[in-house]
Amino acid sequence: MRRYWFPKPYADAVARLRVPAGFLLAAIFAWAARPTWESLAVGLPVGALGLALRAWAAGHLAKNLELATTGPYAWVRNPLYLGTLMAALGLVIAARRLWLGLLLAAFFLLLYLPVIEQEEQHLRRLFAGFDDYAARVPLFVPRFRGRPGGRFRWELYRRNREYQALAAFLAVAAFLIWRAA
């Protein structure tokens, strides 16, 4: 029997709180951000790379229908969360507030790790091959071995509503540019 990091009641509570806590974090971010043109020039490209990783992953993810093992899923089990973290890091760099980065790290550790664990438990129940996949592919730090394979499918990108992440990123970027001006 696999031992888990977080007790189930905590993980369940966190799953419900993740979105409201994200809105609170966004409000704190908007209040604290002090971007400059230089910080935007460094941070926004980092964030865009994270968003591109999310988009690539979404185009390979048929949720609950098949185990995603192609595209970025060939190198890391959680490319959507890694992309989210990269996008947020880029925005924090653009905002020029170190303590926001520390808050983001705490948010990720306390809220996202339990959700990732819950999702892995779900995938383990759903797909018999998940344990073999998990043994080959790291949880969060990519291992670039071989070709990622598969083909990006726009219908999956749309079905996974990844355009919402793009819209949110563009809105925050526009806010930061306005704030720098």
From first to last of its 181 residues, the chain has per-residue pLDDT tens of: 455 566 667 667 777 777 788 788 888 998 999 999 999 999 999 999 999 999 999 999 999 999 999 999 999 999 999 999 999 999 999 999 999 999 999 988 888 888 888 889 889 999 999 999 999 999 989 999 888 989 999 999 999 999 999 999 999 999 999 999 9
pLDDT in tens, 88-116: 999 999 999 999 999 999 988 888 888 88
How far apart are alpha carbons 150 and 37 in whole angstroms? 39
In percent, the amount of the chain with pLDDT more than 90 equals 70
Under 8 Å between Cβ of 111 and 14: yes
